[in-house]
């Protein structure tokens, strides 16, 4: 079993609270597609050997919760050159594919850079409001601590020199864990321009 396979197996078996969805868990077609996509992504990134990690907060119901890959949507998997025609799958490509605003902003900008960062979330599961998986909520302290275990394991697989905290939640957790990091404004809620400027300061453009 490779390190990536072990990591995704552990991820898929993690028990989460009732107001959190582990979308990698189970034998459904959708869960299998998400595990497949994440395996393909992490394997590709391992070959690229990135030195930077872009760390977000948590998956959204229209983005990573569908695809299994942080900072993506089904539309990004089918339209962005980094993913297009490389074996990534959508759960139901017979319907109009979903897009996710923050993921779209992130990838519109990442396409300008030669070296793509490894993308991850400080909490890798989907926190939602009680009884409604088609909502997003901020991960709580216990969830952030759980996510730290997977972050540490991911950092043991990749050789990362710089971590960029995308937003205040990953920033606070990285600070708590004692990691050195750079902070960049999250693109949501009017933060696009600050995000673009912040990323430009931290990454090497084409």
The predicted model gives 132-159 an average pLDDT of 94
Contact yes or no for 64/88 (Cβ under 8 A) = no
What pairing do the DSSP bridges indicate for beta strands 118-121 and 52-56? parallel
What pairing do the DSSP bridges indicate for beta strands 52-56 and 162-166? parallel
Q: Could you report the per-residue pLDDT of 25-74, keeping only the tens digit for each? A: 999 999 999 999 999 999 999 999 999 999 999 999 999 999 999 999 99
Share of the chain above pLDDT 70, in %: 98
Q: Residue 29: which domain range? A: 3-202
Helices (H), the chain: 3-13, 29-48, 64-67, 74-79, 101-110, 141-157, 168-177, 192-202
Give residue 103's pLDDT: 94
Share of the chain above pLDDT 90, in %: 88
Q: Could you report the per-residue pLDDT of 177-203, keeping only the tens digit for each? A: 999 999 999 998 788 999 999 999 998
Q: Could you report the per-residue pLDDT of 75-102, keeping only the tens digit for each? A: 999 999 999 999 999 998 777 788 899 9
C-alpha distances in angstroms, 51 versus 119, 178, 193?
11, 19, 24
* Domains of the chain: total: 1
10 Å Cβ neighbour count for 25? 17
CA dihedral sign, ordered 59, 62, 64, 66: positive
Contact yes or no for 76/107 (Cβ under 8 A) = yes
Give residue 156's pLDDT: 96
Q: Smallest Cα–Cα separation from 38: which of 80, 10, 57?
A: 10
For residue 206, name the pLDDT band (cuts at 50, 70, 90).
very low
Distance CA 67, CA 23 (A): 9
pTM recorded for the entire structure? 0.95
What CATH number is attached to the domain comprising 67? 3.40.470.10
């Amino acid at each position: 079993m490779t390190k990536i396979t072990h990591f995704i197996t552990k991820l898929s078996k993690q028990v989460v609270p009732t107001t959190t969805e582990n979308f990698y868990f189970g034998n459904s077609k959708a869960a299998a597609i998400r595990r497949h996509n994440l395996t393909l992504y992490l394997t590709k990134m391992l070959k690229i050997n990135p030195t930077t990690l872009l760390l977000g907060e948590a998956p959204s119901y229209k983005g990573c919760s569908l695809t299994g890959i942080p900072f993506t949507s089904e539309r990004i998997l089918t339209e962005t050159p980094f993913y297009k025609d490389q074996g990534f799958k959508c759960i139901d490509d017979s319907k109009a594919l979903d897009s996710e605003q923050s993921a779209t902003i992130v990838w519109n900008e990442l396409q300008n850079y030669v070296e793509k960062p490894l993308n991850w979330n400080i909490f890798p599961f989907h926190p939602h409001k009680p009884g409604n998986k088609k909502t997003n909520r901020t991960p709580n302290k216990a969830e952030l601590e759980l996510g730290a275990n997977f972050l540490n394991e991911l950092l043991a697989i990749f050789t990362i020199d710089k971590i960029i905290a995308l937003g205040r939640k990953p920033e606070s957790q990285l600070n708590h864990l004692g990691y050195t990091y750079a902070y960049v404004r999250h693109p949501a809620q009017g933060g696009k321009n600050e995000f673009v400027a912040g990323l430009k300061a931290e990454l090497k453009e084409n």
